[in-house]
Chains A and B, each alone.
Chain A
Amino acid sequence: MEEQTLRDTVNRVIRPEQVHRDVYTSAEIFRLEMKHLFPNCWVYVGHESQTAKPGDYITAQIGDQPLLQVRHTDGEIKVLYNRCPHKGTKIVIDKAGNTGKFFRCPYHAWSFKTDGCLLAIPLKKGYEGTGLEGTEAAKGLAPVGAWHNYRGFIFARLAKDGIGFEEFFGEALSSLDNMVDRSPVGRLTVVGAPLRYMHRCNWKMLVENQTDTCHPMVAHESSAGTAVKIWETMEKPADAPKPPAMEIIAPFMSPYEFFENMGIRTWPNGHGHTGVHHSIHSDYSAVPGYYDAMVEAYGEERAQAILGENRHNTVYFPNIMIKGPIQQLRNFIPLGPDKTLVESWIFRLEGAPDELVARTAMYNRMINAPTSMVGHDDLEMYERAQEGLMADGLEWVNIQRLYEEGEDFSEEAVLNGTTERQMRNQFDAWKRFMIGGAA
């Protein structure tokens, strides 16, 4: 019965080339996303370098669920619900820390091994003969349904049963591979704290925008266009090197043809990326010593293949985006139908020169910070859209650019870079994973 209602709701709001505004504005749909969509998908939790030593933990969340990622005494990473089985207290609340050999709840001091198992209860005789051992409390901190460490990136599925990790991501993992392969030793490390940027809009607007190639030259004219104008009118020697702002921000002003030709690839289950043939990251200047280190590690041919990949934004459904060429991950964390926290993380390529981290950090603050001009351009559009969608005169959001009848999202496809197929691909996956993930 409830499943039928869910099916009806999902079918009502998704059409092949348009979606009902309720998917962005309705509290009920948001609730269903938290209850069904997020638990059925493989969602990013954290990076292994954040919990490098036994006892290291971070707090995280999938949908609205409080979680923790911890390195167990045996060296393995575990993903557990951050909830004391006694009376519900969060076991840890800081972003990161080390708990030693066990967790101890701050309320009544129940303690747990770092794999979640109940270790001890003070004054335990009070439970003798009460049948505690038969309750869920006696099992300790509950693990999530499943988790997987893919080359250092920890993903989890809350649901006990469901699609496997490899099946969910498939060929889309090639973007993560490329990001990790860019380290001569094949290892990334999280650098510093993430930018945290609050958006008063639905999380899906942010995810869609990652492959929206018809907005940069319009919405970012204020920042990228102005940068180009200042540079052109500035008095300077003919061979003056471009300032970093020009290298990073100016490509946003590239013309439509540039974005058309860069291509978009979609994979099954809602994943996809821009920048198949080239991208706004293609023309970054070379960092001395890096190429040599790569050739030494991989040989010339393989090194060129790795560095020749210039994928722009790769969306991993439902809610992260990575940029391989600049070692970045953005997490679009849903907090409400009209509230999304965006965390932007950067990584060091182990074995590569520091200049690469410097460029990555620069990109992050120039584009993703609450103080970033490019960020201001984007957020203004999301918030206007969130408010505009309340208009009752129109109910549908159009995602029809380069739509073809009978699109089959179970096939990988490479298309014109301005297609909105990736947005349609996301909604195809949304529809399926809302009702369990069945094909």
Chain B
Amino acid sequence: MSAERFIDFVYDEAWMLDQGRFAEWIELWEPDAVYWMPLNWNQQDPINETSLLYEDNFMLRLRVERLQGARTFSQKPKSRCHHVLNRPRVEELREDGAKIVTQCHYVETRLDEQMLLALTIRHDLKVVDGQIRIAGKRVDILNCDAAFGNIQLLP
């Protein structure tokens, strides 16, 4: 598969999140894929020290389902998000997948608050039955060690 197809996928995924199409977004994920957001700059170990997120399919489903819940008070009113992506860099291209790294500015807002995060996103993508799927995603926040208020959506 061409590099362009993978790059388009990264743009499309961000667009999907910005539109709040979380139910569709969760279907992009391989069942054993993990979403990792480290707590430390250059963190190597996601398991034996604290991360911000290290979530399997069950947790991601829970997250997405919760956003729509009738008693999810922290989403009444709802948050919105916005990704501005640099052109994704293809770090590794194979017949059946690719590794992509993307710089991104992420804005999340709710009520009168708005927050800006600078992100480095690493996608591990895989082609399954002709479709591109997410086999893993790592999101590093530039100021990962700063104190944050709520980050409720998915950077």
- A194-B50, A365-B54 given; A376·B152 CB < 8 A: yes
Binary A-proximity of B25-69 (CB < 8 A = 1, otherwise 0): 000000000000101100000011111111010110111011001
Q: How many residues belonging to A are interface residues under a CB distance threshold of 8 Å?
A: 45
Which of A192, A223, A227 sits near B39, CB closer than 8 Å?
Answer: A192
One of A82-90, A131-139, A196-204 at the interface: A196-204
Set of chain A residues within 8 Å of B150, measured between Cβ atoms: 370, 375-376, 379-380
- A210–B1 alpha-carbon span in the complex (Å): 53
- A380–B53 alpha-carbon span in the complex (Å): 20
- A370-B148, A377-B74, A380-B73 given; A361·B49 CB < 8 A: yes
Set of chain B residues within 8 Å of A379, measured between Cβ atoms: 74, 149-150
Set of chain A residues within 8 Å of B48, measured between Cβ atoms: 191, 354, 357-358, 361
Binary B-proximity of A168-212 (CB < 8 A = 1, otherwise 0): 000000000000000000000001111111111000000000000
Set of chain B residues within 8 Å of A364, measured between Cβ atoms: 50
Tell whether, in the assembled complex, residue B147 and residue A373 are in contact, meaning their CB atoms are under 8 Å apart.
no
Tell whether, in the assembled complex, residue A373 and residue B66 are in contact, meaning their CB atoms are under 8 Å apart.
yes
B72 near A: Cβ within 8 Å? yes
Tell whether, in the assembled complex, residue A370 and residue B73 are in contact, meaning their CB atoms are under 8 Å apart.
no
Tell whether, in the assembled complex, residue B71 and residue A381 are in contact, meaning their CB atoms are under 8 Å apart.
no
- A246–B62 alpha-carbon span in the complex (Å): 11
A245 near B: Cβ within 8 Å? yes
Set of chain B residues within 8 Å of A195, measured between Cβ atoms: 39, 50, 52
Chain B minimum-CB-distance residue to A227: B62
Tell whether, in the assembled complex, residue B62 and residue A226 are in contact, meaning their CB atoms are under 8 Å apart.
yes
- A373–B62 alpha-carbon span in the complex (Å): 9
Tell whether, in the assembled complex, residue A371 and residue B52 are in contact, meaning their CB atoms are under 8 Å apart.
yes
Chain B minimum-CB-distance residue to A368: B50
Which secondary structure characterizes the binding site on chain A?
A: helix
B151 near A: Cβ within 8 Å? yes
Of residues 65 through 115 on chain B, the ones whose CB sits less than 8 Å from some CB of chain A are 65-66, 69, 71-75
In this complex, the interface size class of chain B, counting residues with CB under 8 Å from chain A, is 20 to 34
Which of A191, A221, A223 sits near B49, CB closer than 8 Å?
Answer: A191
- A341–B146 alpha-carbon span in the complex (Å): 11
Chain A minimum-CB-distance residue to B65: A226
Tell me the minimal C-beta distance from A360 to chain B in angstroms.
9
Set of chain A residues within 8 Å of B73, measured between Cβ atoms: 219, 222, 377, 380-381
- A223–B72 alpha-carbon span in the complex (Å): 8
Tell whether, in the assembled complex, residue A369 and residue B53 are in contact, meaning their CB atoms are under 8 Å apart.
yes
Tell whether, in the assembled complex, residue B52 and residue A365 are in contact, meaning their CB atoms are under 8 Å apart.
yes
Set of chain A residues within 8 Å of B63, measured between Cβ atoms: 373
Tell whether, in the assembled complex, residue B69 and residue A222 are in contact, meaning their CB atoms are under 8 Å apart.
yes
Set of chain A residues within 8 Å of B148, measured between Cβ atoms: 196-198, 370
Tell me the minimal C-beta distance from B138 to chain A in angstroms.
14
Tell me the minimal C-beta distance from B47 to chain A in angstroms.
5
- A196–B146 alpha-carbon span in the complex (Å): 7
- A193-B40, A341-B147 given; A346·B50 CB < 8 A: yes
Tell me the minimal C-beta distance from B89 to chain A in angstroms.
25
Tell me the minimal C-beta distance from A381 to chain B in angstroms.
7
Tell whether, in the assembled complex, residue A192 and residue B66 are in contact, meaning their CB atoms are under 8 Å apart.
no
- A179–B11 alpha-carbon span in the complex (Å): 48
B4 near A: Cβ within 8 Å? no
- A53–B75 alpha-carbon span in the complex (Å): 47
Contacts from B to A (Cβ < 8 Å): 37, 39-40, 47-54, 56, 58-59, 61-63, 65-66, 69, 71-75, 145-152
A-B contact pairs, 8 of them (CB 8 A): A197-B149, A198-B149, A200-B149, A222-B71, A346-B50, A361-B48, A370-B52, A377-B74
Contacts from A to B (Cβ < 8 Å): 191-200, 219, 221-223, 225-227, 229-231, 243, 245-246, 249, 341, 344, 346, 354, 357-358, 361-362, 364-366, 369-371, 373, 375-377, 379-381
Q: Which 5 A-B pairs have the closest CB atoms?
A: A192-B49, A380-B74, A196-B147, A222-B72, A370-B148
